[in-house]
Structure 1
Amino acid sequence: MRTPCADWRSVARTAVAQQRMEAAKYPDDPRLTVSAGELRVQEEDFRTGWAAHHVATLSVGTKFVNHPVAGEPSLEWDTLTASTDPDKQLVVWTAEALSPPATDCTSSPPGPRPPSHVLGPVSRPRPGPPPAQ
């Protein structure tokens, strides 16, 4: 995550705060408990962020990425939440249409191409027992 994110420290702080918010929302979810425990052991930045006790729930934002062709484009994102189930969300990313980074992103960097498919909405799994290993 550190390499593609130009502002990875800010992104990491926000991600930790969002995970803490989810843990407060779903205190009995063993996957969140295990995930937070493992990250606190393995990642100093996560451990520090978790100890700060910040929580966040964001629906819009800006991210700056390090792109191999476009440089550091600014990407805006919006989260659309289903009115019938707030755990179902679709995140939409946009770049300014005529900006050089947005134009440069139309050419692919050398190397293997990602599969051509459209991702549907992402929904958070309902709390429950972890899947069998």
Structure 2
Amino acid sequence: MDGRRQLGEFLRTRRSQVSPEAAGLTPHGDRRRVPGLRREELAQLAGVSASYYARLEQGYSLNASAEVLDALAGALGLDDDERRHLHNLAAPRRGPGRRRPAPERVSPATRQLVAALGDVPVVVLGRRGDVLAWNRTGHALHAGHLAFGSPEDKAARPNMTRLVFTDAHTRELYPGWAAKARDVVGNLRLTAGQHPDDPLLASLIGELSMKSPEFAALWSDHRVRGCDVGVHEMHHPVVGAMTVTQQTLHTEPGQKVVVATAEPDSASAHALLLLARDLTADVPVRH
């Protein structure tokens, strides 16, 4: 993944989705070849020269100031996640890049946190969505069809993004699968902006783009979305339908602890409790 290319693609995509009328401009009578704002119109709205903006979109300008980026974000109507993504894409890169990242490990402190949460479903994810650990209930909720010890195999750990797009069991878990898929891809976009030189992340994106037309379509849209809290309808093969809130806690750099809860005393809370009771007690967390 080339950060400069991602920056240009993000700006072009967002520019194409803003009409002159929505931006407060009076469109001329000439016919537009492409939808959305022209380069010179966006430059005008952001208060920069058209030539400077063209270089930025083409990846030739590497020193955009925070003020310029904020002006572009305002002109494009970006939300907080999109604004942060724009700044990440434009950030200067150090070193040659594309070095193989160090293996991700779960720290003792994170293992203690997972253990303290007891029967609450918990999954620990790496920055690419690899499952680094889960407790017994987290495994049963999200991927009971896989081996509980699968996160131990560092070369073949389950990956939550891959499961959402290529695993039939995971797709059936979410009656509103399309919304879940959008959230997953939007969050992956944020990660790609933060780590454009990660070859394993680039490989995952390439793999899913080839295997899943749905992933490829969502990826090409350049939507970004932070998903620290999401409410999802789930239909579990053991305990049935439930409404689950998935909350993300950020622990080690790039790692996330995803906790699933439900409204107290609700049918969904009772379903989660039933799922926990159906499991063998006191099974250690895998990592």
Q: Percent identity?
A: 31
Amino acid at match of 1:17: G
Is 1:33–2:189 an aligned residue pair? no
Secondary structure, counterpart of 1:22 in structure 2: helix
Asked which structure has the greater RCO (Cα within 8 Å, sep 6+), the reply is: 1
Q: Is the 8 A contact 1:13 1:49 kept in 2?
A: yes
1:130 corresponds in structure 2 to: none
1:129 corresponds in structure 2 to: none
Secondary structure, counterpart of 1:75 in structure 2: strand
Secondary structure, counterpart of 1:24 in structure 2: helix
User: 1:91 pairs with 249, 254, 258, which one?
Assistant: 258
- TM-score, normalised to structure 1, is 0.74
How far off its partner does 1:44 sit?
0.7
Is 1:107–2:279 an aligned residue pair? no
Q: CA RMSD in A?
A: 2.6
How far off its partner does 1:30 sit?
0.2
Secondary structure, counterpart of 1:73 in structure 2: strand
Alignment of 1:57-96 (within 5 A): 57-82=226-251, 85-96=252-263
1:15 corresponds in structure 2 to: 184
Q: Is the 8 A contact 2:244 2:268 kept in 1?
A: no
Secondary structure, counterpart of 1:20 in structure 2: helix
Q: Using the alignment, how far apart are the partners of 2:280 and 2:198 within structure 1? A: 33
Amino acid at match of 1:59: D
Q: Using the alignment, how far apart are the partners of 1:11 and 1:101 within structure 2? A: 18
Q: Using the alignment, how far apart are the partners of 2:236 and 2:286 within structure 1? A: 21
How far off its partner does 1:119 sit?
6.0
Q: Which has the higher helix share?
A: 2
Q: 1:71 to 1:36 in 2, by over 3 A?
A: same
Secondary structure, counterpart of 2:273 in structure 1: coil
Amino acid at match of 2:196: P
Q: Using the alignment, how far apart are the partners of 1:38 and 1:90 within structure 2? A: 25
2:211 corresponds in structure 1 to: 42
- TM-score, normalised to structure 2, is 0.36
Q: Is the 8 A contact 2:234 2:241 kept in 1?
A: yes
Q: Is the 8 A contact 1:70 1:102 kept in 2?
A: no
Structure 1 unaligned spans of 5+: 121-133
Deviations 1:82-102 (A, max 9, x none): 3xx542332221112211232
- Superposition misfits of 4+ residues, deviation over 6 angstroms: none
Amino acid at match of 2:233: F
1:127 corresponds in structure 2 to: none
Q: Is the 8 A contact 1:65 1:73 kept in 2?
A: yes
Q: 1:4 to 1:114 in 2, by over 3 A?
A: farther
Structure 2 unaligned spans of 5+: 1-169
How far off its partner does 1:19 sit?
1.1
Alignment of 1:113-124 (within 5 A): 116-118=283-285
